[in-house]
Structure 1
């Protein structure tokens, strides 16, 4: 695996509100936060660009709603913002894709000549997957660091219910198998980026 010198790390929705287990339920990938922190550290240490994405939910009961404490980044992310030697962008959004946020992520990446992105964050099957899919559609070489993401169990149609592991794996299979992104581990990305 090759990580280009200007590959951007997209840190999607790593917000305090996702720690409200009573709202979300049981999560998977317990080491995801450590892996996200490791990716940020490697990117900042190598001068590569980092994009921090925050979801500003328009739902009044959401733990991610603007003005609520859960809207803020988790402490380990907030502590790292502004600390890298490379370019940094802060994007806010109210939908699943970071490419539909403010400022325009696609425009920023293209203006910087960036063609490769590594995606990490929360939730695997929601904003992470949607951002990765759209990145693939826009022609970026997308890598998804699967163990630097997590999600929660989910109920769908016909009473079908999937655990957090099942939801995350289905998302990874769909992205990888569908050619939207290469699903890899944090270690693979970190080793290639060093």
Structure 2
């Protein structure tokens, strides 16, 4: 695969609040944080733009609510912010899609001539997937680094339960099979970006 010289890495909601297992439940993919960090490192080393997205939950019980320690980025993300040679943007949002945040992500991409977007972050089947879907709808070439995301077990209607790994696979199939994004591994993205 090819990663454009100005492809943007969108790091979705890598926040401390997601460490609160008693709130979220069991997660998948323990390697996700290392993979996310490695993508940020490659993007910063090659001067590509990085977008850090923060979810400011309006729900008072959420570990991601503003004013609570969980709203902050995880340490490895915070340590990397402002360190790259390329442009950097902070987007705050209250819904799933980073394209419905502040400032306007689509406008920023358009102004910078960015056509390719790589999505990583939390949760696979929620904000990462929604951002990827909307990016595809808006005409961007979206690359979804599946193993640089993670999610949690979830209960739905009719008593149905899905394990985190099942949800991640469903996201991968929906995004890739539905033509919203090219779903790949972190290693594939890193290799292409380093060339």
Partner of 2:49 in structure 1? 49
Q: What CA distance in whole angstroms lies between the structure 2 residues aligned with 1:37 and 1:152?
A: 20
Deviation at 1:97, TM superposition (A): 0.2
Partner of 1:38 in structure 2? 38
Deviation at 1:87, TM superposition (A): 0.3
Deviation at 1:172, TM superposition (A): 1.0
Q: What CA distance in whole angstroms lies between the structure 1 residues aligned with 2:176 and 2:161?
A: 22
Q: With the length of structure 1 as denominator, give the TM-score of the two structures.
A: 1.00
Pairing 1:1-194 to 2, within 5 Å after superposition: 1-194=1-194
Secondary structure of residue in 1 paired with 2:26: coil
Q: With the length of structure 2 as denominator, give the TM-score of the two structures.
A: 0.99
Deviations 1:28-86 (A, max 9, x none): 01100000000000000000000000000000000000000000000000000000000
Deviations 1:117-175 (A, max 9, x none): 00000000000000000000000000000000000001111111000000111111111
Secondary structure of residue in 2 paired with 1:144: strand
Q: What CA distance in whole angstroms lies between the structure 1 residues aligned with 2:65 and 2:31?
A: 25
Q: What CA distance in whole angstroms lies between the structure 2 residues aligned with 1:49 and 1:78?
A: 16
Q: What CA distance in whole angstroms lies between the structure 1 residues aligned with 2:29 and 2:145?
A: 12
Secondary structure of residue in 2 paired with 1:91: strand
Q: What CA distance in whole angstroms lies between the structure 2 residues aligned with 1:172 and 1:106?
A: 23
Secondary structure of residue in 2 paired with 1:62: coil
Deviating 4+ runs (over 6 angstroms) = none
Q: Unaligned 5+ residue runs, structure 1?
A: none
Q: What CA distance in whole angstroms lies between the structure 2 residues aligned with 1:62 and 1:177?
A: 32
Secondary structure of residue in 2 paired with 1:73: coil
